[in-house]
Structure 1
Amino acid sequence: MAPAPASPTPSSARMGGSVRRAVRGARSAQIAGQVREVVGARGYRHRARVVVVGVALSIVLGACSAPSVTSVSIDGGDRSVVVDDSLTLTATVVTSGGASAAVTWESSDEAVAGIDDAGSVAILTAGTTDVTATSTVDPSMRDTVTLTVDPLGVLMWTRQFGTSSNDQAFGVATDAEGNVYAAGYTFGALEGAGAGNADAFVRSYDREGSLRWTRQFGTSADDEAFGVATDAEGNVYAAGYTRGALEGPNAGGEDVFIRSYDRDGSLRWTRQFGTSSGDFATGMATDASGNVYVTGYTLGALEGPNAGSEDAFIRSYDRDGSLRWTRQFGTSSEDVATGVATDASGNVYVTGYTYGALHAANSGFVDVFVRSYDSAGGLRWTRQFGTGSGDVANGVATDASGNVFIAGGTFGDLDGTSAGSEDAFVRSYDSEGGLRWTRQFGTSSGDVANGVATDASGNVYAAGSTGGALDGAEFGTFDAFVRSYDNEGSLRWTRQFGTSSGDVANDVAIDANRGVHATGYTFGALEGANAGAGDAFIRKYGR
């Protein structure tokens, strides 16, 4: 009798990282392979295909690669920021073999800026620091960028322009490309020949301060621009008054005009309107839909009867110059609108001053008001405030949250004690008219804020004039200033500038990179020589 077959006895050998298992007595047949995971000598995991052929079971491990990092690069490279910026750095890490892409962060000068494990940078003071990202797998793989921290309110450039006659700028705006536009009037010839007495102008510079174009326009009578705005398409709108006929006949005395140019200075359209009694534009704005808003005051009846003396008004056109609506409002006393702004929801805010009672009782003399309409002209709310000593508003702005900021002057105590004579102020409401805060500031010599603007971070900027020293020494009889607060009303910085001859900032605008542009006029030489009498200027600061 033949002996029974012996039980299969496994045997194994390890050669060069491969494992072979022979099973004696197995039949010569190929069995479908399966995928298995094998842990190698260093704990690396590999996948293998198992095939049984004949009497041998072979497990052949594929080639393995150790985890490694090929490169580390910090996204964005070297950059410049300012002290209160928020910044998070990211690094691109190229790996193989399943290596971790984690990095550690380090700042060479933590007094300038520190950085945490997530790449969040704490910007502390002006200076320069090198920030390095280092691979946690291979410390030889790293990248370094230089972070330059500029102080707040750094002067970028000044442009002064004019003729041998008088030239003044009253409004300033910026577009999405960082171009800046100033509007005002000239008694000379900024572009070509003057049309008559005072002519209106719009002048544009690029972000670096290079002149792009100038448009001067008018009639044989007086024409003056006091407001300028841009829309999302780069169109430019200027508003003011004319004693002549820019479009059609004059209604009588002074008429309001709005004039639109494209981004390259080509005329799009002009609208002129008024009553027989006199009408003036003081400010303008656009909304996200391209609608245009002009505000000012009328001695007549633009919409319904005049309430008495001067009434405030706001009038809206679409981007192509078609009239949308007009709202006229006032008391039996004098009511003047001085500024207009819109928010992201299309709400409109008008500010100015009243000698009557638009909302509750008058404080005793001239009070500030702010009035809100929806995009269709429906009244939302009105707020009136004052001290009894005389208070006026000259500008209004909104932020991305719909908060409202009013700037002007007071002869009383809106917030604390008056510094003496007239003080400047900034006052903030939420979008529903709830008071947020008030900041009053000045010197013993008289101070007023003429314009206000906000940036994308919610910081607030007021521009005006001072007879004293808001920031260090004074330069002349009256100087221009720009003053910045954060969104909660904490002071960020003040810049006072001027000549010995007198200087006034009338408006301020912020560009997409938070460049701060102030415009106004000087009787001296802020840049180069004075052309004669008053010259207009635009001055740009970093945020």
Structure 2
Amino acid sequence: MDEFKLSVSLLTPASDLVTGDPGGKFEAVFGRAGNDNIYAYDPYTSSNPQQNIDFLFGDIFDNSVEEYEIILNIQANQQGGNPLLILQRNIPSVGKDKFILGDINQPYYTDSSFLGLDKFAVLYDFDLTQDKIQLNGKAEDYRLVDVNGLKVEGIDQPFFGKAIFSVQQGTPDLVGYVIARPEVKLDLKDGYFQYVGEKPQTKPARKKIGQLGTTGIDRSLGAATDPSGNVYITGSTTGPLQGSNKGFADAWIAKLDNQGNQLWGKQIGSSGSETSYAVVTDKDGNVYVAGDTGGNLFSSKQSESQDAWVAKYDSNGTLKWAKQLGTNVTGGNANTAFGLQVDDKGSVYLSGLAIKENQRTDIFNFPVQDDSWVAKFDSNGNQQWFTQIGNFFFDESYDLAVDKDGNSYLTGWTQGLVKESDPSRQLLKYDAWLAKVDPSGQVDWIQQFGSKNEGLEFSWAVDTDSKGNIYTTGWTTGELGTKDNKSKKSDSYDIWFSKFSPDGTQLWTKQFGSKADDGTYLSDMEIDSQDNIFLIGYTNDKLGKGTKDEAYNAWVGKFDTEGNNKWIQQFGSKNKLDYATGVTTDNAGKLYVTGFTDGLLGSNSTGANGAGVDGWVAQFDANKGKLQKFIGNSKDLISISDPGPISTVDISNNFVTDEKLPNGDNLINPAQGISVSKSTLDYGDFISSLGSIFDRNVQNSFPTALTEAVNSGQIVI
């Protein structure tokens, strides 16, 4: 079997919306830990007649040495590795994942080839006790076929599993292949198969919320207001959301007035894939957006994989200038901008991460690593300075704040900026970090912090108050205690947020959450002119007076500068995924929250009908937390509880900061403890025979063996 590169989508060890590369012919998608919703297939751009084979890993990657061994065997098939080693291992599930193989409009992975072998998903680690498979239609629209003992030349391990064929088109069409031992029994009428589209929801859950989308994957990821009270939202789309689709995925920005009426929208794209993660405005009403691109967006591409970019528009949506940053600036092969700010002088600050070749595998036995960076531009887009923060591990930055004196603050997660994170863990090593960079671009200080029991800490957002104090927030799996050393057992993920003085001293750290999964994803925080703090996130339980929904609701909460909660408002559609990703306030007491949903959360403004993933934006009373009318005037489909306060736990003494490098071993070897010598995984590309094994155009492959078995009558559909 020939080896070639597969594109890779690798998400966080929390509960993520996992999307793939719409242009990827063969792609490996890793949800990792957490309860992930996996949308690897795009229902809009994937309609063209090309191959689309996705390899879906709900949990398996780096939760244990045993998991990582399976990944390395998949990668090293030609060197004696077994790509089906999972059939010989008992790997416990670490999350309740949902594999999306269809939406309310259509089944996914259908094509016109014999048996539909040009497009299908391979589900590597489906667990019928925890995971779900979503299909369009009803059980009678599918056939579940045992594929046991199928031999493919060049692979010693026979194939075992269940093939899911759609028969809606009249002839059997393979949409999914579940790798499973022969003793595993699946039934299309059991609860782990979920069917949508027979009775689609026609009324939105929240008429007051605006929802915008296409039949593709549309995410709203950032929000800002201008001095006139207008609202800007930004994100990514694989459809024609704010204009024609220019490639696989495009960035977009939309301007709305404070009544929810769209004033203008822009779709920003190339022949590659683009995402916009952040949006800010200046005192003159100009608007700035930033993200990443895989194409020639504003200039020729500067990197092998993707560039970061930032663009300035006037209040009418006219482009003033744009910059595309790649290897020439960051030294990285793949670059992304997540953080964006502008000061009163119109200077622009941009931050992100750069993935690059690891030059010190003697310290970190991995072919790649990444660093964080921050850059400053003048009001005309001329670069003033560029500063990189990192070492030979993974050090990633996801947000940026700038104080009134021009100091910038970056935050994210690290395997070890000032010490090795979680040294007792062999693979998963996550500490949060916060860094201060002075107005000239010099690093003033770096704080790395985490829980004493070495849980995972991930920081998503940072902001400053009027006195120059810094606040940062994220999620934790740590079992954190109080100042009285009373243990607070966390059943799953919790939210934390910390306050630091301008010199980097931790003033306090607070933690809150339900008994289930509470987190943040591509998230944000906002501190208004009165120093009120607004946090956002998701939960699959009950926060405050909210109603439990295992499919995840969004929430927004208000806190004071001592970390006391004033109220928290939980909201969402029923049994659908609703995440909050952006938050902003205006000068008139209004609070805006934006995010994405795979249901019909709000009123339709652009053709959204709850298929795929859509963006949304909501308006609240910033003082009381009440949902306000932003679009539409009908009654909600389901009620929403009044906002209410929740308790927070002070865990300052158990959040360890200012950690120094240990005197002993500071090496990280992800493959340590794996008996077979294998190469290691590249986060950007996955070199494997997996594509050849499942390519019907290869003579000795799973599709050709399956075709022969069907034609000979060995397998009956």
Q: Give yes or no for the alignment of 1:459 onto 2:511.
A: no
SS of the equivalent of 1:300 reads strand
Q: 1:264–1:330: structure 2 CA closer, same or farther, 3 Å change rule?
A: same
Tell me how far 1:392 sits from its aligned partner.
0.5
CA-to-aligned-CA distance 1:513-541 (integer Å, 9 cap, x gap)? 24211111011122235433111011111
CA-to-aligned-CA distance 1:15-39 (integer Å, 9 cap, x gap)? xxxxxxxxxxxxxxxxxxxxxxxxx
Q: Distance in 2 between matches of 1:288 and 1:418?
A: 45
- Cross-structure match for 2:279: 228
CA-to-aligned-CA distance 1:187-242 (integer Å, 9 cap, x gap)? 11122311011000011111222211111110011011111111111111111100
SS of the equivalent of 2:543 reads coil
Tell me how far 1:248 sits from its aligned partner.
2.0
1:405 pairs with 471, 475, 480, which one?
471
Tell me how far 1:157 sits from its aligned partner.
4.6
Q: Give yes or no for the alignment of 1:378 onto 2:442.
A: yes
Tell me how far 1:360 sits from its aligned partner.
5.0
- Cross-structure match for 2:517: 446
- Cross-structure match for 1:534: 613
1:513 pairs with 588, 603, 607, which one?
588
Q: Which amino acid aligns with 1:398?
A: T
What is the correspondence of 1:110-509 to structure 2 with a 5 Å cutoff? 157-251=208-302, 252-275=304-327, 277-300=333-356, 309-356=369-416, 358-359=417-418, 362-364=421-423, 365-387=429-451, 388-414=454-480, 416=482, 417-449=488-520, 450-471=523-544, 472-500=546-574, 501-509=576-584
Q: Is the 8 A contact 2:242 2:254 kept in 1?
A: no
Q: Distance in 1 between matches of 2:376 and 2:207?
A: 35
Q: Distance in 1 between matches of 2:220 and 2:481?
A: 30
Q: Distance in 2 between matches of 1:331 and 1:439?
A: 29
Q: Which amino acid aligns with 2:211?
A: Q
| Larger relative strand fraction | 1
Q: Is the 8 A contact 2:217 2:613 kept in 1?
A: yes
Q: Distance in 1 between matches of 2:556 and 2:287?
A: 24
SS of the equivalent of 2:432 reads strand
Q: Distance in 1 between matches of 2:527 and 2:247?
A: 37
Q: Which amino acid aligns with 1:287?
A: D
What is the correspondence of 1:73-88 to structure 2 with a 5 Å cutoff? none
With a CA cutoff of 8 Å and minimum separation of 6, indicate the structure with the bigger relative contact order: 2
Q: 1:415–1:464: structure 2 CA closer, same or farther, 3 Å change rule?
A: farther
Tell me how far 1:353 sits from its aligned partner.
0.6
**Structural RMSD (CA):** 2.0
Q: Distance in 1 between matches of 2:251 and 2:489?
A: 37
Q: 1:156–1:194: structure 2 CA closer, same or farther, 3 Å change rule?
A: closer
TM-score where L is the length of structure 1: 0.68
What is the correspondence of 1:45-84 to structure 2 with a 5 Å cutoff? none
CA-to-aligned-CA distance 1:473-532 (integer Å, 9 cap, x gap)? 124511111011111111100001111211000121122224211111011122235433
Tell me how far 1:363 sits from its aligned partner.
4.1
Q: Is the 8 A contact 1:352 1:368 kept in 2?
A: yes
TM-score where L is the length of structure 2: 0.52
Q: Which amino acid aligns with 1:495?
A: Q
Tell me how far 1:289 sits from its aligned partner.
1.6
- Cross-structure match for 1:524: 599
Q: Distance in 1 between matches of 2:404 and 2:310?
A: 23
Q: Is the 8 A contact 1:156 1:540 kept in 2?
A: no
Tell me how far 1:361 sits from its aligned partner.
5.5
Tell me how far 1:418 sits from its aligned partner.
4.5
Tell me how far 1:362 sits from its aligned partner.
3.1
Q: Which amino acid aligns with 1:508?
A: V
| Number of aligned residues | 384
Q: Is the 8 A contact 1:410 1:423 kept in 2?
A: yes
What is the correspondence of 1:87-106 to structure 2 with a 5 Å cutoff? none
Q: Which amino acid aligns with 1:421?
A: S
Q: Which amino acid aligns with 1:403?
A: N
Q: In terms of mean alpha carbon deviation, does 468-477 or 224-233 score higher?
A: 468-477
SS of the equivalent of 1:310 reads strand
Q: In terms of mean alpha carbon deviation, does 292-301 or 402-411 score higher?
A: 292-301
Tell me how far 1:320 sits from its aligned partner.
1.2
Q: Distance in 2 between matches of 1:497 and 1:480?
A: 6
CA-to-aligned-CA distance 1:404-425 (integer Å, 9 cap, x gap)? 1111100003454253211111
Tell me how far 1:354 sits from its aligned partner.
0.3
Runs (5+) with no aligned partner, structure 1: 1-154
Q: Is the 8 A contact 1:223 1:243 kept in 2?
A: yes
Q: 1:525–1:329: structure 2 CA closer, same or farther, 3 Å change rule?
A: same
Q: 1:459–1:415: structure 2 CA closer, same or farther, 3 Å change rule?
A: farther
Q: Distance in 2 between matches of 1:463 and 1:433?
A: 24
